[in-house]
Amino acid sequence: MNGTGALSLFNIFKKPKESRSHAMFAEYLQYGYEDGIYQTFLGPYTQLKVVDPDAIKKIVLDTTTFPKHPIMINQNPSSLLAKFIGKNIVFTEGHDWKAQRHVVNPAFYNVEIFYPLFLNLTNKLMDRWASIVNKNNGSTSIAVMPEMTNFTIDALGSAVFGIDFDAINGNLSHIVESYDFLLEAIQQVQRMIFPFLNTLPTQYNRQMEHHLKHYDDMIYKLIDEARNRKEDPEKAKTLLDMMIESEGVFDNKILRDNCSVFFVAGHETTASALGFAFYTIAKDQRVQDKIVEEIEQVIGMKENPTYEQINAMEYLSCVIKEYMRLYPSVAAIPMKMAAKDTELCGYFVPKGTMITMDTYSLHHSEKVYGPTVEEFRPERWQGEEAKSIHKFAYIPFSAGQRVCVGNNFSLLEQKIFLVRLLQRFSISLEKGYKLSFNKEHNAVNHPEKSFAVVVTPR
Protein backbone atom coordinates (compact mmCIF):
# COMPACT_ATOMS: atom_id res chain seq x y z
CA MET A 1 0.00 0.00 0.00
CA ASN A 2 1.24 3.51 -0.79
CA GLY A 3 1.68 6.00 1.99
CA THR A 4 3.33 9.12 3.24
CA GLY A 5 6.06 6.93 4.70
CA ALA A 6 7.23 9.47 7.24
CA LEU A 7 6.24 10.03 10.83
CA SER A 8 4.66 13.46 10.61
CA LEU A 9 4.89 14.04 14.36
CA PHE A 10 6.32 17.52 13.95
CA ASN A 11 3.72 18.50 11.41
CA ILE A 12 0.98 18.40 14.00
CA PHE A 13 2.61 21.30 15.85
CA LYS A 14 2.89 23.45 12.70
CA LYS A 15 0.28 26.03 11.85
CA PRO A 16 -1.43 24.72 8.70
CA LYS A 17 -0.88 26.68 5.50
CA GLU A 18 -3.99 25.27 3.86
CA SER A 19 -7.28 23.80 4.98
CA ARG A 20 -7.29 20.22 6.24
CA SER A 21 -9.44 19.15 3.28
CA HIS A 22 -7.07 20.58 0.70
CA ALA A 23 -4.06 19.03 2.42
CA MET A 24 -5.75 15.62 2.54
CA PHE A 25 -6.87 15.87 -1.07
CA ALA A 26 -3.30 16.57 -2.24
CA GLU A 27 -2.14 13.55 -0.23
CA TYR A 28 -4.90 11.39 -1.69
CA LEU A 29 -3.98 12.34 -5.27
CA GLN A 30 -0.36 11.49 -4.58
CA TYR A 31 -0.74 8.26 -2.63
CA GLY A 32 -4.30 6.98 -2.70
CA TYR A 33 -5.84 7.70 -6.09
CA GLU A 34 -5.14 4.26 -7.61
CA ASP A 35 -6.20 2.09 -4.67
CA GLY A 36 -8.68 4.34 -2.85
CA ILE A 37 -6.69 3.68 0.34
CA TYR A 38 -3.32 4.81 1.65
CA GLN A 39 -1.26 4.85 4.80
CA THR A 40 -0.32 7.94 6.74
CA PHE A 41 0.51 8.88 10.35
CA LEU A 42 -1.24 10.85 13.03
CA GLY A 43 1.38 11.51 15.67
CA PRO A 44 2.35 8.06 16.94
CA TYR A 45 -0.58 6.29 15.23
CA THR A 46 -0.53 4.54 11.87
CA GLN A 47 -3.63 5.68 10.07
CA LEU A 48 -5.35 4.43 6.94
CA LYS A 49 -7.19 7.00 4.88
CA VAL A 50 -10.05 5.47 2.92
CA VAL A 51 -11.57 7.04 -0.19
CA ASP A 52 -13.10 3.98 -1.87
CA PRO A 53 -16.94 3.68 -1.83
CA ASP A 54 -16.93 -0.14 -1.44
CA ALA A 55 -14.50 0.04 1.47
CA ILE A 56 -16.58 2.82 3.05
CA LYS A 57 -19.68 0.65 2.72
CA LYS A 58 -17.87 -2.19 4.47
CA ILE A 59 -16.70 0.08 7.32
CA VAL A 60 -19.96 1.88 8.06
CA LEU A 61 -22.12 -1.25 7.82
CA ASP A 62 -19.98 -3.30 10.19
CA THR A 63 -19.59 -1.34 13.43
CA THR A 64 -18.40 -4.47 15.26
CA THR A 65 -15.28 -4.76 13.12
CA PHE A 66 -14.93 -0.98 12.74
CA PRO A 67 -15.96 0.75 15.99
CA LYS A 68 -14.87 4.27 16.89
CA HIS A 69 -11.21 4.52 17.83
CA PRO A 70 -10.45 4.27 21.59
CA ILE A 71 -8.82 7.71 21.40
CA MET A 72 -12.39 9.03 21.09
CA ILE A 73 -14.19 6.58 23.37
CA ASN A 74 -11.73 6.17 26.29
CA GLN A 75 -11.22 9.84 26.86
CA ASN A 76 -8.37 10.89 29.07
CA PRO A 77 -10.05 12.87 31.89
CA SER A 78 -7.53 15.70 31.52
CA SER A 79 -8.21 15.98 27.78
CA LEU A 80 -10.17 18.94 26.53
CA LEU A 81 -12.44 16.51 24.70
CA ALA A 82 -13.49 15.02 28.05
CA LYS A 83 -13.96 18.39 29.70
CA PHE A 84 -15.73 20.20 26.86
CA ILE A 85 -17.70 17.52 25.03
CA GLY A 86 -17.59 14.52 27.38
CA LYS A 87 -19.08 11.03 27.09
CA ASN A 88 -22.15 11.46 24.96
CA ILE A 89 -23.93 9.85 22.03
CA VAL A 90 -21.07 10.67 19.63
CA PHE A 91 -18.35 9.31 21.87
CA THR A 92 -19.89 6.08 23.13
CA GLU A 93 -20.15 2.61 21.65
CA GLY A 94 -22.26 -0.55 22.09
CA HIS A 95 -24.95 -0.65 24.77
CA ASP A 96 -24.39 2.92 26.05
CA TRP A 97 -24.66 4.34 22.53
CA LYS A 98 -27.82 2.33 21.71
CA ALA A 99 -29.56 3.51 24.90
CA GLN A 100 -28.77 7.17 24.19
CA ARG A 101 -29.69 7.00 20.51
CA HIS A 102 -32.98 5.34 21.45
CA VAL A 103 -33.92 8.40 23.53
CA VAL A 104 -33.08 11.05 20.94
CA ASN A 105 -34.29 9.23 17.80
CA PRO A 106 -38.01 10.15 18.11
CA ALA A 107 -37.26 13.89 18.07
CA PHE A 108 -35.36 13.52 14.82
CA TYR A 109 -37.72 11.11 13.03
CA ASN A 110 -40.45 13.71 13.09
CA VAL A 111 -38.64 16.94 12.19
CA GLU A 112 -41.91 18.55 11.13
CA ILE A 113 -42.29 19.61 14.80
CA PHE A 114 -39.36 22.00 14.27
CA TYR A 115 -40.87 23.56 11.16
CA PRO A 116 -42.63 26.58 12.77
CA LEU A 117 -39.53 27.39 14.81
CA PHE A 118 -37.28 27.44 11.75
CA LEU A 119 -39.78 29.47 9.74
CA ASN A 120 -40.23 32.14 12.45
CA LEU A 121 -36.54 32.43 12.98
CA THR A 122 -35.81 32.76 9.26
CA ASN A 123 -38.47 35.44 8.91
CA LYS A 124 -36.99 37.32 11.86
CA LEU A 125 -33.57 37.31 10.21
CA MET A 126 -34.90 38.29 6.78
CA ASP A 127 -36.77 41.22 8.38
CA ARG A 128 -33.56 42.37 10.01
CA TRP A 129 -31.67 42.18 6.71
CA ALA A 130 -34.51 44.02 4.94
CA SER A 131 -34.25 46.90 7.43
CA ILE A 132 -30.46 47.10 6.91
CA VAL A 133 -31.00 47.11 3.14
CA ASN A 134 -33.62 49.86 3.53
CA LYS A 135 -31.24 52.05 5.48
CA ASN A 136 -28.65 51.58 2.72
CA ASN A 137 -31.20 52.41 0.01
CA GLY A 138 -30.63 49.24 -1.98
CA SER A 139 -28.15 46.38 -1.81
CA THR A 140 -25.98 45.58 1.15
CA SER A 141 -23.09 43.31 1.98
CA ILE A 142 -23.75 40.62 4.57
CA ALA A 143 -20.97 38.88 6.50
CA VAL A 144 -22.16 35.34 5.91
CA MET A 145 -20.42 33.19 8.52
CA PRO A 146 -21.17 35.22 11.68
CA GLU A 147 -24.79 35.62 10.53
CA MET A 148 -25.18 31.91 9.83
CA THR A 149 -23.52 30.94 13.10
CA ASN A 150 -25.99 33.09 15.03
CA PHE A 151 -28.91 31.81 12.99
CA THR A 152 -28.07 28.15 13.58
CA ILE A 153 -27.37 28.74 17.29
CA ASP A 154 -30.86 30.20 17.63
CA ALA A 155 -32.38 27.30 15.69
CA LEU A 156 -30.68 24.87 18.01
CA GLY A 157 -31.58 26.91 21.10
CA SER A 158 -35.28 26.84 20.37
CA ALA A 159 -35.55 23.33 18.91
CA VAL A 160 -33.26 21.46 21.24
CA PHE A 161 -33.29 23.51 24.45
CA GLY A 162 -36.59 25.42 24.20
CA ILE A 163 -34.78 28.75 24.68
CA ASP A 164 -34.64 31.79 22.42
CA PHE A 165 -30.98 32.83 22.61
CA ASP A 166 -31.67 35.73 20.24
CA ALA A 167 -28.14 35.45 18.89
CA ILE A 168 -29.25 36.88 15.55
CA ASN A 169 -29.79 40.21 17.28
CA GLY A 170 -26.31 40.13 18.78
CA ASN A 171 -27.15 38.56 22.16
CA LEU A 172 -25.24 35.59 23.52
CA SER A 173 -21.95 36.96 22.22
CA HIS A 174 -20.07 36.11 25.47
CA ILE A 175 -21.11 32.44 25.26
CA VAL A 176 -20.24 32.27 21.59
CA GLU A 177 -16.82 33.71 22.47
CA SER A 178 -16.20 30.91 25.01
CA TYR A 179 -17.58 28.32 22.69
CA ASP A 180 -15.45 29.51 19.73
CA PHE A 181 -12.35 29.44 21.87
CA LEU A 182 -13.04 25.87 23.04
CA LEU A 183 -13.98 24.65 19.59
CA GLU A 184 -10.72 25.95 18.20
CA ALA A 185 -8.72 24.41 21.06
CA ILE A 186 -10.40 21.03 20.83
CA GLN A 187 -9.43 20.68 17.19
CA GLN A 188 -5.73 21.10 17.82
CA VAL A 189 -4.51 17.60 17.04
CA GLN A 190 -1.48 17.95 19.31
CA ARG A 191 -3.76 18.54 22.32
CA MET A 192 -5.79 15.47 21.42
CA ILE A 193 -2.76 13.23 21.19
CA PHE A 194 -0.84 14.72 24.14
CA PRO A 195 -3.54 15.70 26.67
CA PHE A 196 -0.88 16.76 29.22
CA LEU A 197 -0.47 19.92 27.09
CA ASN A 198 -3.81 21.03 28.53
CA THR A 199 -2.47 20.86 32.07
CA LEU A 200 0.63 23.07 31.65
CA PRO A 201 0.47 26.42 33.52
CA THR A 202 0.28 28.55 30.38
CA GLN A 203 -1.83 31.63 29.77
CA TYR A 204 -3.67 29.79 27.00
CA ASN A 205 -4.63 27.01 29.43
CA ARG A 206 -5.83 29.52 32.01
CA GLN A 207 -8.04 31.10 29.36
CA MET A 208 -9.27 27.63 28.47
CA GLU A 209 -10.29 26.91 32.07
CA HIS A 210 -12.10 30.23 32.24
CA HIS A 211 -14.05 29.52 29.04
CA LEU A 212 -14.81 25.96 30.15
CA LYS A 213 -16.35 27.24 33.36
CA HIS A 214 -18.34 29.85 31.51
CA TYR A 215 -19.61 27.28 29.05
CA ASP A 216 -20.45 24.72 31.76
CA ASP A 217 -22.39 27.32 33.72
CA MET A 218 -24.52 28.02 30.65
CA ILE A 219 -25.30 24.35 29.98
CA TYR A 220 -26.19 23.57 33.61
CA LYS A 221 -28.40 26.66 33.67
CA LEU A 222 -30.24 25.43 30.56
CA ILE A 223 -30.77 22.06 32.20
CA ASP A 224 -32.05 23.64 35.42
CA GLU A 225 -34.46 25.86 33.50
CA ALA A 226 -35.79 22.89 31.54
CA ARG A 227 -36.26 20.85 34.73
CA ASN A 228 -38.25 23.67 36.33
CA ARG A 229 -40.35 24.55 33.28
CA LYS A 230 -44.03 23.70 33.65
CA GLU A 231 -45.27 21.24 31.04
CA ASP A 232 -47.26 22.99 28.31
CA PRO A 233 -49.47 20.52 26.34
CA GLU A 234 -49.69 23.07 23.50
CA LYS A 235 -45.94 23.06 23.00
CA ALA A 236 -43.92 20.27 21.34
CA LYS A 237 -41.36 18.66 23.65
CA THR A 238 -37.78 19.75 23.13
CA LEU A 239 -34.93 17.32 22.86
CA LEU A 240 -33.77 18.35 26.31
CA ASP A 241 -37.24 17.54 27.77
CA MET A 242 -36.99 14.06 26.27
CA MET A 243 -33.54 13.53 27.69
CA ILE A 244 -34.63 14.72 31.14
CA GLU A 245 -37.55 12.30 31.09
CA SER A 246 -35.10 9.42 30.47
CA GLU A 247 -33.35 9.80 33.82
CA GLY A 248 -32.26 6.14 33.78
CA VAL A 249 -30.17 6.75 30.68
CA PHE A 250 -29.13 10.36 31.24
CA ASP A 251 -27.78 11.25 34.66
CA ASN A 252 -26.88 14.92 35.14
CA LYS A 253 -23.35 14.56 33.73
CA ILE A 254 -24.48 12.57 30.66
CA LEU A 255 -27.24 15.12 30.18
CA ARG A 256 -24.66 17.91 30.27
CA ASP A 257 -22.37 16.05 27.85
CA ASN A 258 -25.20 15.42 25.39
CA CYS A 259 -26.35 19.03 25.54
CA SER A 260 -22.79 19.98 24.73
CA VAL A 261 -22.51 17.64 21.78
CA PHE A 262 -25.82 18.75 20.31
CA PHE A 263 -24.65 22.32 20.60
CA VAL A 264 -21.38 21.50 18.83
CA ALA A 265 -22.63 18.96 16.27
CA GLY A 266 -25.81 20.84 15.55
CA HIS A 267 -24.92 24.37 14.62
CA GLU A 268 -21.38 24.76 13.29
CA THR A 269 -22.05 22.11 10.65
CA THR A 270 -25.29 23.66 9.38
CA ALA A 271 -23.77 27.17 9.50
CA SER A 272 -20.96 25.87 7.31
CA ALA A 273 -23.39 24.23 4.86
CA LEU A 274 -25.34 27.49 4.57
CA GLY A 275 -22.07 29.38 4.09
CA PHE A 276 -21.28 27.21 1.08
CA ALA A 277 -24.90 27.52 -0.11
CA PHE A 278 -24.43 31.29 -0.27
CA TYR A 279 -21.20 30.89 -2.17
CA THR A 280 -22.43 28.41 -4.77
CA ILE A 281 -25.84 29.99 -5.37
CA ALA A 282 -24.49 33.55 -5.50
CA LYS A 283 -21.81 32.47 -7.96
CA ASP A 284 -24.11 30.58 -10.30
CA GLN A 285 -26.94 32.75 -11.62
CA ARG A 286 -28.35 29.86 -13.67
CA VAL A 287 -28.87 27.75 -10.55
CA GLN A 288 -30.28 30.71 -8.61
CA ASP A 289 -32.82 31.38 -11.38
CA LYS A 290 -33.85 27.71 -11.44
CA ILE A 291 -34.48 27.68 -7.69
CA VAL A 292 -36.54 30.86 -7.95
CA GLU A 293 -38.53 29.33 -10.82
CA GLU A 294 -39.27 26.32 -8.62
CA ILE A 295 -40.33 28.57 -5.72
CA GLU A 296 -42.71 30.42 -8.07
CA GLN A 297 -44.25 27.15 -9.23
CA VAL A 298 -44.53 25.38 -5.87
CA ILE A 299 -45.08 28.19 -3.36
CA GLY A 300 -45.24 31.67 -4.88
CA MET A 301 -42.84 34.51 -4.14
CA LYS A 302 -44.62 36.10 -1.18
CA GLU A 303 -46.26 33.37 0.87
CA ASN A 304 -44.72 31.46 3.74
CA PRO A 305 -44.14 27.90 2.52
CA THR A 306 -45.95 24.98 4.14
CA TYR A 307 -44.02 21.93 5.30
CA GLU A 308 -45.41 19.93 2.35
CA GLN A 309 -44.36 22.62 -0.14
CA ILE A 310 -40.85 22.68 1.27
CA ASN A 311 -40.64 18.93 0.75
CA ALA A 312 -41.89 19.27 -2.83
CA MET A 313 -38.89 21.46 -3.78
CA GLU A 314 -37.03 18.77 -5.71
CA TYR A 315 -34.53 20.96 -7.52
CA LEU A 316 -33.63 22.75 -4.27
CA SER A 317 -32.92 19.35 -2.69
CA CYS A 318 -30.50 18.59 -5.53
CA VAL A 319 -28.80 21.97 -5.06
CA ILE A 320 -28.27 21.24 -1.36
CA LYS A 321 -27.01 17.76 -2.15
CA GLU A 322 -24.55 19.19 -4.65
CA TYR A 323 -23.05 21.92 -2.45
CA MET A 324 -22.73 19.41 0.38
CA ARG A 325 -20.86 17.16 -2.05
CA LEU A 326 -18.41 19.81 -3.26
CA TYR A 327 -18.11 21.41 0.16
CA PRO A 328 -18.82 18.83 2.87
CA SER A 329 -18.98 20.55 6.28
CA VAL A 330 -17.30 17.64 8.03
CA ALA A 331 -14.01 17.11 6.19
CA ALA A 332 -13.55 13.48 7.25
CA ILE A 333 -15.44 10.95 9.36
CA PRO A 334 -13.67 10.83 12.72
CA MET A 335 -11.32 7.98 13.54
CA LYS A 336 -12.49 4.38 13.61
CA MET A 337 -10.41 1.31 14.39
CA ALA A 338 -10.08 -2.21 13.01
CA ALA A 339 -11.15 -4.26 16.06
CA LYS A 340 -9.74 -7.44 14.47
CA ASP A 341 -7.51 -8.37 11.53
CA THR A 342 -9.44 -7.59 8.38
CA GLU A 343 -9.16 -6.51 4.75
CA LEU A 344 -9.91 -3.31 2.84
CA CYS A 345 -9.44 -2.69 -0.91
CA GLY A 346 -7.56 -6.01 -1.16
CA TYR A 347 -5.03 -5.05 1.55
CA PHE A 348 -4.52 -6.77 4.88
CA VAL A 349 -5.47 -4.44 7.77
CA PRO A 350 -4.09 -5.53 11.16
CA LYS A 351 -6.13 -5.31 14.35
CA GLY A 352 -5.74 -1.90 16.03
CA THR A 353 -5.22 0.15 12.84
CA MET A 354 -6.71 3.64 12.93
CA ILE A 355 -9.04 4.36 9.99
CA THR A 356 -10.34 7.69 8.70
CA MET A 357 -12.82 8.07 5.85
CA ASP A 358 -11.84 11.13 3.83
CA THR A 359 -15.13 12.68 2.78
CA TYR A 360 -13.72 15.68 0.91
CA SER A 361 -11.42 13.58 -1.31
CA LEU A 362 -14.18 11.04 -1.94
CA HIS A 363 -16.55 13.79 -3.09
CA HIS A 364 -13.80 15.24 -5.33
CA SER A 365 -12.50 12.01 -6.78
CA GLU A 366 -12.67 11.90 -10.57
CA LYS A 367 -12.42 8.14 -10.31
CA VAL A 368 -15.72 8.13 -8.40
CA TYR A 369 -17.65 11.05 -10.00
CA GLY A 370 -16.14 11.16 -13.50
CA PRO A 371 -14.84 14.13 -15.49
CA THR A 372 -17.49 16.61 -14.27
CA VAL A 373 -16.46 16.08 -10.64
CA GLU A 374 -15.40 19.71 -10.06
CA GLU A 375 -18.52 21.20 -11.66
CA PHE A 376 -21.33 22.48 -9.47
CA ARG A 377 -24.13 20.63 -11.25
CA PRO A 378 -27.27 19.88 -9.14
CA GLU A 379 -28.68 17.99 -12.14
CA ARG A 380 -26.33 15.08 -11.43
CA TRP A 381 -28.73 14.15 -8.60
CA GLN A 382 -31.69 13.73 -10.98
CA GLY A 383 -32.91 10.74 -13.04
CA GLU A 384 -30.63 8.03 -14.40
CA GLU A 385 -27.42 9.91 -13.61
CA ALA A 386 -28.30 9.96 -9.90
CA LYS A 387 -28.97 6.21 -9.98
CA SER A 388 -25.48 5.60 -11.41
CA ILE A 389 -23.74 7.21 -8.42
CA HIS A 390 -22.48 4.66 -5.85
CA LYS A 391 -24.63 4.85 -2.70
CA PHE A 392 -21.55 5.17 -0.49
CA ALA A 393 -19.85 7.79 -2.67
CA TYR A 394 -21.78 10.53 -0.86
CA ILE A 395 -21.28 10.69 2.91
CA PRO A 396 -21.56 14.28 4.23
CA PHE A 397 -23.60 12.90 7.16
CA SER A 398 -21.62 9.62 7.33
CA ALA A 399 -23.78 6.49 6.76
CA GLY A 400 -24.93 3.22 8.33
CA GLN A 401 -25.83 2.90 12.00
CA ARG A 402 -23.80 5.94 13.08
CA VAL A 403 -25.28 8.23 10.42
CA CYS A 404 -25.86 11.79 11.68
CA VAL A 405 -29.03 11.78 13.77
CA GLY A 406 -29.61 15.47 12.89
CA ASN A 407 -29.44 15.15 9.08
CA ASN A 408 -33.14 15.75 8.39
CA PHE A 409 -33.22 18.49 11.02
CA SER A 410 -30.40 20.28 9.22
CA LEU A 411 -31.82 19.74 5.74
CA LEU A 412 -35.19 21.18 6.77
CA GLU A 413 -33.48 24.18 8.34
CA GLN A 414 -31.42 24.78 5.19
CA LYS A 415 -34.41 24.43 2.86
CA ILE A 416 -36.64 26.85 4.78
CA PHE A 417 -33.81 29.35 5.04
CA LEU A 418 -32.97 29.25 1.31
CA VAL A 419 -36.60 29.50 0.20
CA ARG A 420 -37.32 32.56 2.36
CA LEU A 421 -33.98 34.13 1.40
CA LEU A 422 -34.54 33.79 -2.34
CA GLN A 423 -38.18 34.88 -2.10
CA ARG A 424 -37.00 38.21 -0.74
CA PHE A 425 -33.49 38.78 -2.07
CA SER A 426 -31.23 38.02 -4.98
CA ILE A 427 -27.65 37.28 -3.94
CA SER A 428 -24.32 37.86 -5.67
CA LEU A 429 -20.64 37.58 -4.81
CA GLU A 430 -18.57 40.69 -4.14
CA LYS A 431 -16.47 41.62 -7.16
CA GLY A 432 -13.37 39.44 -7.52
CA TYR A 433 -14.21 37.21 -4.55
CA LYS A 434 -12.27 33.95 -4.52
CA LEU A 435 -13.36 31.22 -2.12
CA SER A 436 -10.95 30.14 0.59
CA PHE A 437 -11.63 27.74 3.44
CA ASN A 438 -10.91 28.30 7.09
CA LYS A 439 -7.54 27.00 8.20
CA GLU A 440 -7.91 27.32 11.95
CA HIS A 441 -10.58 24.63 12.42
CA ASN A 442 -9.76 21.28 11.07
CA ALA A 443 -12.91 19.24 11.62
CA VAL A 444 -15.49 21.56 10.06
CA ASN A 445 -14.91 23.26 6.71
CA HIS A 446 -16.43 26.65 6.13
CA PRO A 447 -15.69 29.72 4.04
CA GLU A 448 -13.28 32.18 5.72
CA LYS A 449 -14.91 34.52 8.24
CA SER A 450 -14.38 37.49 5.90
CA PHE A 451 -16.71 35.98 3.26
CA ALA A 452 -19.54 38.40 2.37
CA VAL A 453 -22.34 38.39 -0.21
CA VAL A 454 -24.35 41.23 -1.66
CA VAL A 455 -28.09 40.94 -1.03
CA THR A 456 -30.53 42.95 -3.14
CA PRO A 457 -34.32 43.03 -2.59
CA ARG A 458 -36.33 41.41 -5.40
Long-range contacts of 225-231 (CB under 8 A, 24+ apart): 225/163, 226/161, 226/162, 229/162
- Give the DSSP per-residue string, 277-340: HHHHHHH-HHHHHHHHHHHHHHT-SSSPPPHHHHHT-HHHHHHHHHHHHHS-SBSSEEEEE-SS
Using the minimum distance from each CB to ligand HEM, give the nearer residue, 175 or 335: 335
How far apart CA 341 and CA 65 sit, in angstroms, is 9
Distance CA 184, CA 84 (A): 12
When binding is defined by CB under 6 A, the residue of 215, 250, 262, 279 that contacts ligand HEM is: 262
- Provide, rounded to whole angstroms, the least separation between the CB of residue 335 and ligand HEM: 8
Using alpha carbons, list the distances in angstroms from residue 253 to 43, 56, 220, 258: 31, 34, 9, 9
According to the binding rule CB under 6 A, does residue 263 interact with ligand HEM? no
Q: Residues 357-396: x/- map of binding to ligand HEM (CB under 6 A)?
A: ---------------------------------------x
Sort 451 into a burial class: Cβ within 10 Å, 0-12 / 13-18 / 19+.
buried
Site string for ligand HEM, 127-166 (x = CB under 6 A): ---------------------------------x------
Say how many residues touch ligand HEM, by CB under 6 A.
24
Assess 330 for contact with ligand HEM (CB under 6 A). yes
Cβ distance to ligand HEM smaller for residue 133 or 316 = 316
Q: Which is nearer to ligand HEM, 265 or 291 (CB)?
A: 265
Q: What residues are paired with 356 via a beta bridge? A: 49
Q: How far is the CB of 159 from ligand HEM (least distance, A)?
A: 7
The b/e string for 289-300 (b: 16+ C-beta within 10 A; e otherwise) is ebbbebbeebbe
Candidate residues 119, 208, 326, 333; the one interacting with ligand HEM per rule CB under 6 A: 333
Residues 60, 400 contacting (CB under 8 angstroms): yes
Q: Which CB sits closer to ligand HEM, 270 or 317? A: 270
Q: How far is the CB of 397 from ligand HEM (least distance, A)?
A: 5
Choosing from 101, 214, 229, 439, the residue that interacts with ligand HEM (CB under 6 A) is: 101
Give the list of residues 6+ apart from residue 326 with CB closer than 8 angstroms, or none.
Answer: 276, 280, 363, 364, 374, 376
For ligand HEM, the closer of residues 215 and 397 by Cβ is 397
Considering only residues 402-431, where is the footprint of ligand HEM by CB under 6 A?
Answer: 402, 404-406, 409-410
Give 31 or 276: the residue with its C-beta nearer to ligand HEM.
276
**Interface with ligand HEM (CB under 6 A), residue from 19, 40, 280, 329:** 329
Helical pair 285-298 and 252-283, crossing angle rounded to 10 deg:
110
CA triplet 273, 358, 177: central angle to 5 degrees? 45
Q: Spell out where 186-239 has E strands.
A: none
| Count of beta carbons in the 10 Å neighbourhood of residue 351 | 11
Tell me the closest approach of the beta carbon of residue 119 to ligand HEM, in angstroms: 16
Q: Find the binder of ligand HEM among 19, 269, 356, 445 (CB under 6 A).
A: 269
Choices 12-20, 295-303, 308-316, 398-406 (CB under 6 A): range interacting with ligand HEM: 398-406
Of the candidate spans 204-212, 245-253, 265-273, 386-394, the one that interacts with ligand HEM by CB under 6 A turns out to be: 265-273
Residue sitting closest to ligand HEM (CB): 406
Shortest Å distance, C-beta 411 to ligand HEM: 8
DSSP one-letter string for 393-435: G--TT--GGGS-TTHHHHHHHHHHHHHHHHHHEEEEEPTT---
Residues of this chain that interact with ligand HEM (CB under 6 A) are 89-90, 101, 160, 261-262, 265-266, 269-270, 273, 329-330, 333-334, 396-398, 402, 404-406, 409-410
